[in-house]
Structure 1
């Protein structure tokens, strides 16, 4: 995608300083800025279900294990209950 933008002198100077300091071109800096803003705003863009899922992933609440998909039917036979006796 090609973007045309008008910058005032203050922002142009900042852009040029960032290009030199970070050794990135304008396209790379725009991508970095978008990623940064998106990361900060992402929680407000998510639905309640997506927020809950993200929290569960971050806290390690969501996990998985290999199986045939019938654990809800045969969990007593599959799981190790030796520490419960």
Structure 2
């Protein structure tokens, strides 16, 4: 398939540099760019990867959704008989 394209001088210069350094022609570079963009659509973002890891390992915990948690967090924690927190909710 032939695709006519107009490039500004900056992109034309970048294309020339890429062709020389990667030893690829324009068609190969366009195919490569399409593949990379297509792959990126399915790759999770950094925050999504971190969240998935935390969920998978069970490291991600939760606290109740209350408005005064920062002020009264001790009321929401489980305490052992020595007065030390023994586990979160």
Which protein is bigger by CA-based radius of gyration? 2
Q: Structure 2-normalised TM-score? A: 0.47
Higher relative contact order (Cα pairs below 8 Å, separated by 6+ residues)? 2
TM-score w.r.t. the length of structure 1 is: 0.49
Structure showing the higher strand proportion among its residues: 2
More helix by share: 1
